[in-house]
Chains A and B, each alone.
Chain A
Amino acid sequence: MSDLSVLYDAPGPRARRRNVLIATLFVILLAAGAWWLYGTLDDNGELDARKWDPFVTDSRVWTTYLLPGLQATLTAAALAMVIALPLGAILGIGRLSDHWWISKPVGAIVEFFRAIPVLLLMLFANEAYAMWTDVDRSDRPMYAVVTGLVLYNASVLAEVVKAGILSLPKGQRDAAQAIGMRKSQMMTFVLLPQAVTVMLPAIVSQLVVIVKDTALGGALLGYSELMRSVGLVSANYGNVIASFVVVAVIFIVVNFLITSFASWLEGKLRRGKRSTGVTVTVDPGAQVGGVGGGMAVAAPPSGDGEKA
């Protein structure tokens, strides 16, 4: 049901009038809310030029706090993605293994790391690196942040991959077996490539979660990521709200770029494919075991060009 217009009839003249009316009321409501917001902010002096000027006039705000913070956030996020994706795929395949001595332990690992708050994972990782490795002190917070993110998100991605593989039509498996593929060949050449395509929206949701979760490393581990710079900027300029808004906008833009890129990629992958009849819309519910322990969503609709 990816074409959602099946939910309602094509609007006739009366329905169209009613829609216009609802739309108008809705816009008025939104505008009133926005006006109230603006008025109160203004009354409280939050829109004072003094609080916003630094972001425009003082380039040091960007060079000292925001840009290094953004770089730290992107570094940790990129590393975590690059490690967590393959690891998640391996764990996901492991959970589907025919051998109980593979699938059970892998299942336990996945459940365990999904259950612990990421911040605590980062703390433990930091301590572990300090105790058992000689990672340089100045690099350690980043290692800890990346490790925490990888452990958690790989577990979630494992569930996504598992769900993706399970959602493929049985015929794919049967056909692969019929032409004499071994299990590993079937997985690498037939099932996994399709599963990744099918689950791309869910995977992307998880990547967005990774970017946002780097913020957890800031306050406690002293990893100077983007969120941390809110504290530093506002300590200098006394403009908490303005700094929050600026940082929020940066996060939204970065994540929007990621999701847009992903939906472009998804479109490309889909177009190149003779339809196998597989989309995420097949039946995420029954099988999407664990999409987004982090917050991700199971399988948003595929074909509608939404940035899921």
Chain B
Amino acid sequence: MKLRKASALAASVLALSLTATACGSSDDDNGGSGDGGGGKITVGIKFDQPGLGLKTPDGTFAGFDVDVATYIAGELGYTPENINFVESPSPERENLLKRGDVDFIVATYSITDTRKQEVDFAGPYFVAHQDLLIRADEDVTSEDDINNLTLCSVAGSTPAQRIKDEIAPDAGLFEQATYSECLAGLENGQVDAITTDDVILAGYAAQDQHQGKFKLAGLNLSDEFYGIGVQKGSDLRADINTAIQKMIDDGEWDAAIEKNVGPSGYAAEGAPEITETN
């Protein structure tokens, strides 16, 4: 009697969960790595980075990285409807490429030597500099001042490590899981500045609800060359480089910058030289 009840319960739970999975996986696509196979291309971006890669409330994607990815995919022969954007969390980026889960990654992906041992890069398509985001009515003029500040950054990220180890070992550093969480501290005065790449900061400053509240300090604390990650030995790289160059030459690149981070007052320097060719 009891057993019968229990198994009826189990069966109904099972049925429920199966229906749920069925719905869950209905947004499947052909996936995989094949370029052109099935006429779709899979691109890794960030989903939560305003101005660069952001999943908007209508379920579409917006930002500079998204525009670059869309342009490149266009040059490779894919219309925007055939681009499948997937989220590429920072720690997973190399693995996504190695496994062939994505065709390429445009996600504030700095070119470094250790990463180059795992994946190949095309580009760079952008040069960012580590900088501070501060309240609009304050100023930080020199690197030495940073030691007196309380900063916020993302735990374990390169900018956070650089602040601790090189730039300002004496500064207070609050490490959070995301930059959005740092923003609350900046708004309420517990932290004096948020530090990471300037273009990421500009993305936050350019958001409607933050306009006029924050600004960039304008310190060039580092050079970060953003590359487009591809699988090691991928023949996509040459085509992507050509596409980036074309985007820069025909002015689309500048337009994308202006559209996505322009409202923050951030003046990006020109497009970088493409160096990752062999």
Q: Which of B91, B99, B184 is within 8 Å of A241, CB to CB?
A: B184
A240 at the interface (CB under 8 A from B): yes
Q: Which of B24, B188, B209 is within 8 Å of A44, CB to CB?
A: B188
B50 in contact with A138 (CB, 8 Å): no
B55 in contact with A64 (CB, 8 Å): yes
User: Which residue of the partner chain A has the closest CB to B213?
Assistant: A238
A78 in contact with B180 (CB, 8 Å): no
B20 in contact with A222 (CB, 8 Å): no
B181 in contact with A240 (CB, 8 Å): yes
Interface string of A114-146 (1 = CB under 8 A from B): 000000000000010010000011111010000
CB distance from A140 to the nearest CB of B (A): 8
Cβ–Cβ < 8 Å partners of A234 in chain B: 178, 180-181
B31 in contact with A138 (CB, 8 Å): yes
Interface residues of A in 44-63 (CB under 8 A from B): 44-45, 50, 58, 60-61
Interface residues of B in 200-232 (CB under 8 A from A): 207, 209-210
Q: How large is the interface on B (under 10, 10 to 19, 20 to 34, 35 or more residues)?
A: 35 or more
Given the complex of chains A and B, what is the CA–CA distance between A81 and B9 in angstroms? 12
Cβ–Cβ < 8 Å partners of B42 in chain A: 137
B32 at the interface (CB under 8 A from A): yes
CB distance from B112 to the nearest CB of A (A): 20
Q: Which of A74, A197, A222, A238 is within 8 Å of B210, CB to CB?
A: A238
A79 in contact with B180 (CB, 8 Å): no
A238 in contact with B13 (CB, 8 Å): no
B48 in contact with A231 (CB, 8 Å): yes
A269 in contact with B25 (CB, 8 Å): no
Interface string of A162-192 (1 = CB under 8 A from B): 0000000000000000000000000001000
Interface string of B56-89 (1 = CB under 8 A from A): 1111000000000000000000000000001111
Cβ–Cβ < 8 Å partners of A65 in chain B: 55, 57
Contacts A44-B188, A75-B20, A81-B13 given; indicate if A235 touches B180 (C-beta within 8 A): yes
A1 at the interface (CB under 8 A from B): no
Interface string of A256-277 (1 = CB under 8 A from B): 0000000001000100110000
B95 at the interface (CB under 8 A from A): yes
CB distance from A50 to the nearest CB of B (A): 6
Most buried by A among B28, B180, B188, B210: B180
B210 in contact with A219 (CB, 8 Å): no
B92 in contact with A137 (CB, 8 Å): no
B58 in contact with A138 (CB, 8 Å): no
Cβ–Cβ < 8 Å partners of A75 in chain B: 17, 20-21, 24
Given the complex of chains A and B, what is the CA–CA distance between A139 and B5 in angstroms? 32
Chain A: residues with CB nearer than 8 A to chain B?
44-45, 50, 58, 60-61, 64-65, 71-72, 74-75, 78-79, 81-82, 85, 127, 130, 136-140, 142, 189, 193, 196-197, 219-222, 224, 231-232, 234-238, 240-241, 265, 269, 272-273
Closest CB pairs A-B (n = 10): A78-B17, A60-B57, A235-B48, A222-B87, A137-B31, A75-B20, A234-B180, A238-B209, A231-B48, A137-B101
* Cross-chain pairs A/B with CB under 8 angstroms, 19 sampled: A64-B55, A71-B23, A75-B21, A75-B24, A127-B95, A130-B101, A137-B86, A138-B25, A138-B29, A142-B21, A196-B6, A220-B89, A222-B87, A224-B87, A234-B178, A236-B50, A240-B181, A265-B9, A269-B5
